Amino acid sequence: MLFKKAKTDFLEYLEIEQNRSQKTISNYDHYLTRLLDYSGEELDVKDIDPELIRKWRLWLNRIGTNTNDNLDSITINYHLIALRSFLKYCAKRDIKTMAAEKIELARNKRKQISFLNPEELSRLFEQPDTKNLSGIRDRAILELLFSSGLRVSELVSLNREHVNMSRREFMVRGKGEKDRPIFISQDAAYWLKRYLDQRQDNSKPLFIRYYGNKKTDTTGDFSRLTPRSIQRLVSKYAKLAGIIKHVSPHSLRHSFATDLLMNGADLRSVQALLGHSNISTTQIYTHVTDPHLKAVHEKYHNKQHG
């Protein structure tokens, strides 16, 4: 069977039988199409073997991105994970090809966690010009990202009716189509209410842009801020605040998690608030946030010089 035809069947299987999100299906389509880009449209599923995968990995490593000369190992692993899932599907359908277990993922270096301390957060929040509506919007975005731990994709998908301002909480659907509760601080609620009270439009999105096409649209999706817009916004204010380190929307999610842990929150609760399916993902924060370790160090280390 041609890989192109089997890929289409696989993506339909993900949608209908696995009930995977459209974002996941789109990503898998993108990663698997890269194999066709390398091997050609006539690739047959039975011709997928370890040597083809080895050469494809080399090709992936060298194709690069807009900002780098080659793909990082995490991105290459996303391609391999998609292919492994496809091969498992083939095995279920008795389509002859190589075993998924033969594909080994690249070892990744653990990324250093980038988070802001309270003084940096304070400086960041002070940067938007709150004399105008876009500045109030930007302050609300910064406060909400830190207060809630939202992913940037979750933030931009919010509509006005999603947020319960009186209870300061709402539900969001995150990765894997899993719902989780979101709670926001009084500061975030204040700036969000101030922003919404000054809105003169009927657009549904919680956060909209104030440039470009000004036509009225009740759906508002033409004016919805994109993840890239939020990334640029956060980066701009971080530079204005004199913060040298790289700051992204995810840095504020990291800051949310580290703030909770540093103040004594338990790991399981933080896992739930972040929407992590596996607690090992949440454990990346513990080496920088465990206050108990500092107390042990101060109590027991080098006492002969005390």
pLDDT in tens, 54-99: 999 989 888 765 445 567 778 888 999 999 999 999 999 999 999 9
Q: What integer is the mean pLDDT of 177-181?
A: 81
For the annotated catalytic residues, the residue numbers are 151, 175, 250, 253, 276, 285
Are 149 and 253 contacting, i.e. CB atoms less than 8 angstroms apart? yes
Are 14 and 28 contacting, i.e. CB atoms less than 8 angstroms apart? yes
| Per-residue pLDDT at 291 | 59
Query: pLDDT higher for 284 or 55?
Result: 55
**How many Å apart are CA 189 and CA 147, to the nearest integer?**
9
Place of tokens 């894997």: 176
Side chain identity at residue 178, one-letter code: K
pLDDT tens-place string over residues 95-135: 999 999 999 887 766 566 788 889 999 999 999 999 999 99
- Decide: helix, strand or coil at residue 210: coil
> Dihedrals φ, ψ of 174, to 5°?
-105, -150
**How many Å apart are CA 3 and CA 90, to the nearest integer?**
10
Can you give the residue ranges of every domain in the chain? 3-102, 118-292
**How many Å apart are CA 238 and CA 296, to the nearest integer?**
34
Are 162 and 170 contacting, i.e. CB atoms less than 8 angstroms apart? yes
Q: How far is CA 54 from CA 22, 144, 235, 291, in A?
A: 29, 44, 37, 45
CB count in 10 Å sphere of residue 292: 8
8-state DSSP, 68: S
Are 183 and 169 contacting, i.e. CB atoms less than 8 angstroms apart? yes
Nearest to 65 by CA among 107, 105, 74, 7: 74
Q: What integer is the mean pLDDT of 158-178?
A: 83
- Decide: helix, strand or coil at residue 5: helix
Place of tokens 């540093």: 262
pTM confidence score:
0.67
Q: What integer is the mean pLDDT of 134-145?
A: 95
Are 207 and 155 contacting, i.e. CB atoms less than 8 angstroms apart? yes
Query: Which CATH fold would you assign to the domain 3-102?
Result: DNA polymerase; domain 1 (1.10.150)
pLDDT tens-place string over residues 228-264: 999 999 999 999 999 988 899 999 999 998 888 888 8
| Per-residue pLDDT at 54 | 93
| Per-residue pLDDT at 113 | 72
Query: Which CATH fold would you assign to the domain 118-292?
Result: hpI Integrase; Chain A (1.10.443)
